[in-house]
Amino acid sequence: MDGGSVYLGVFSGMGVFYITTPIYYPNAPPHLGHAYTTVFADVLARYHRLIGDEVFFLTGTDEHGLKLQRVAEREGVSPKEFVDRMAGVYREYWAMLDISYDRFIRTTDPDHERVVVEAVRRLYEKGLIYKAKYSGWYCVDCEKFYSEGEYEVVGGKPYCPIHRKPLEFLEEETYYFRLSVFEDFLRRILSEGGIVYPDQYAREVLGKIDKEGLRDVSIARPRERVWWGIPLPWDRDYTVYVWFDALLNYVTGAGYLSDEERFKKYWGGVHHVIGKDILWFHTAIWFSVLEALEIPPPKKLIVHAFVINRGLKMGKSAGNIVRIEDLVERYHGSDGARYIIARIFNLYRDVEVSNELLDSFYNSELVDTYGNLVRRVGVLAKKKLNGIVENRGLESGLEKKITETIEAYREAMDKYETPQAITAVMDLLREANAYVNKTRPWEKQEPIEELYSLLETIKYATIMLSPITPRAAGRTSQALGFTITNPYETRLGGQEKYIIREAPILFKKIK
Ligand SMILES: [Zn+2]
């Protein structure tokens, strides 16, 4: 199988930034874990819109399968009624965090169901799907079989290592996808590098292939057991397994089999964002499915580690689930919540956070360093210059610092390191605050150069923070009279004058 390579010339993806989150399993409302991935993806989407790329941002819900079938049964509604309700809940949460997705895809959407049927039929016709018997220990919540060594043993019985509950022994005749034939392809593509980011995760997958090899995977469930899903087109006694159904959302969203022109345009620029827990699915399995369908692998698979939130105590939530509404309440709105998520985000390793740490980021950076400067400069400009600040040149120290910051910011964003991008901007703002204290513009008659230099600094800082704190950016730009434009194409010192409408108070301090 080497069919994918023939398409590479067609899928160029130049100037196109297609970004996806995993589609979430809507058995319960989203929490901090979901917000971590989704806010990060949204920051990247907004950043690429800012720098002029054509962006398509896809998120959604994974709505089929046994677990949802059972949850709906418990609630006494049909699975469709249940997922309709939960898709609405997810949209509400994403609105709460100002997530700017372009499409909210649901695996029950008709265009997606068509893609799944056609994709599974193509693989079957290629001989990549076959029927065989399977028996083993199965976790209903994971919807997956566990082999020996993978499960835990409690009181002599096999237990799910994730859900800590007894596994069920299942024997069933099912259909398999021939994952094993893609071993050479996977080794090649993963060792070449460049797709999985950071590269440590590609090495992790290669290590797993070395150790365990590649086994064929079940691609369907007997309908008598799992009826809530898409039937196999050639054997309606079977339902397509949710993993296959879910992964294909990424191609559906770009127009696969419905708008080939659009698909070719967007697929060349596709960036998947995932947590490291679903790394295997999104590499070994997803890259092989794509290869089997003669579709090139994604341009980037961005993998992140987790936030360990033992130390967080918010609202009434129990255990280690932090509710999004508590986060938004504590940090006075979406900007504050988004800021702390982007500030602690880490691709490489799990980070342990506490209220003290998050509060200090919020208070000392967003409130004291950014918010106070905007307020202070706004008030001074109104009082000293009647709110009209003309360009009489830019102070050279700040000019140099702004230029350096733009470079550092760009470098960080190219590496998807939102905390570094934020830190660079905060350094600039700290320097601006120091400049205010040093030059004491309140003691001067007409501090034109000082205030113009400070307004230019605020403008660039606001533009660079705009993917993270879009509301504050909108408010600041209106209040101080500038527009949010591509920072790499805006001329430093190019604004003729600033007309100040108000001196806004952007953020409320946490006491
Ligand atoms: Zn489980």
Tokens encoding 410: 């760009």
Say if CB 74 and CB 10 are below 8 A apart. no
Look at the chain and count its residues: 511
Cα–Cα distance for residue pair 285/297, rounded to 1 Å: 11
Q: Looking at per-residue confidence, does 425 or 310 come out higher? A: 425
Q: What are the tens digits of pLDDT across the range 203-218?
A: 999 999 999 999 999 9
Distance 438 CA to ligand 1 centre (A): 60
Q: What are the tens digits of pLDDT across the range 155-174?
A: 999 999 888 899 999 888 99
Distance 288 CA to ligand 1 centre (A): 25
**CA angle at 309 for the pair 470 and 39, rounded to the nearest 5°:** 20
The four Cα atoms 122, 128, 133, 137 give a dihedral, to 10 degrees, of -90
Tokens encoding 437: 């204290």
pLDDT of 1 strictly over 70: no
pLDDT of 312 strictly over 80: no
Average pLDDT score, the chain: 94
Cα–Cα distance for residue pair 142/458, rounded to 1 Å: 48
Distance 164 CA to ligand 1 centre (A): 7
- pLDDT score at 163: 87
Enumerate the active-site residues.
31, 34, 139, 142, 160, 163, 313, 316
Cα–Cα distance for residue pair 240/44, rounded to 1 Å: 33
pLDDT of 146 strictly over 70: yes
Distance 269 CA to ligand 1 centre (A): 34
List of residues 6+ apart from 212 with CB closer than 8 A: none
Q: What are the tens digits of pLDDT across the range 27-60?
A: 999 999 999 999 999 999 999 999 999 999 999 9
- pLDDT score at 140: 79
Cα–Cα distance for residue pair 244/236, rounded to 1 Å: 17
Say if CB 281 and CB 247 are below 8 A apart. yes
Q: What is the mean pLDDT of residues 216-232?
A: 94
Range ranked top by mean pLDDT from 163-172, 320-329, 491-500: 491-500
Tokens encoding 350: 């799990």
Distance 70 CA to ligand 1 centre (A): 15
- Phi/psi class of residue 81: alpha, beta or left (left: φ > 0; alpha: ψ in -120 to 50)? alpha
Range of weakest confidence among 144-153, 219-228, 330-339: 144-153
Distance 166 CA to ligand 1 centre (A): 9
List of residues 6+ apart from 362 with CB closer than 8 A: 331, 336, 339, 340, 507, 510
Q: Alpha helix (H) ranges present in 386-480?
A: 396-414, 418-439, 448-465, 470-480
Q: What is the DSSP string of 140-171?
A: TTTTEEE-TTTSEEETTEEE-TTT-SBPEEEE
Q: What are the tens digits of pLDDT across the range 187-205?
A: 999 999 999 999 999 999 9
Q: Tokens 């109104």 belong to which residue?
A: 382
Secondary structure element (H or E) that encloses residue 502, with its range: none
**3-state secondary structure at position 383:** helix
Distance 384 CA to ligand 1 centre (A): 65
Q: What is the mean pLDDT of residues 123-152?
A: 89
- pLDDT score at 147: 83
Distance 157 CA to ligand 1 centre (A): 14
Tokens encoding 81: 């009624």
- pLDDT score at 181: 98
Say if CB 250 and CB 299 are below 8 A apart. no
- pLDDT score at 311: 63
Cα–Cα distance for residue pair 232/223, rounded to 1 Å: 10
- pLDDT score at 9: 46
Cα–Cα distance for residue pair 323/96, rounded to 1 Å: 12
- pLDDT score at 148: 83
Q: At what angle do helices 418-439 and 334-344 cross, to 10 degrees?
A: 110
pLDDT of 407 strictly over 70: yes
**3-state secondary structure at position 271:** strand
- pLDDT score at 13: 63
Cα–Cα distance for residue pair 380/375, rounded to 1 Å: 9
- pLDDT score at 318: 45
- pLDDT score at 135: 86
- CB-facing half-sphere around the CA of 202: CA atoms within 13 A: 18
Q: Which residue, among 214, 249, 220, has the nearest Cα to 120 in the 3D structure?
A: 220
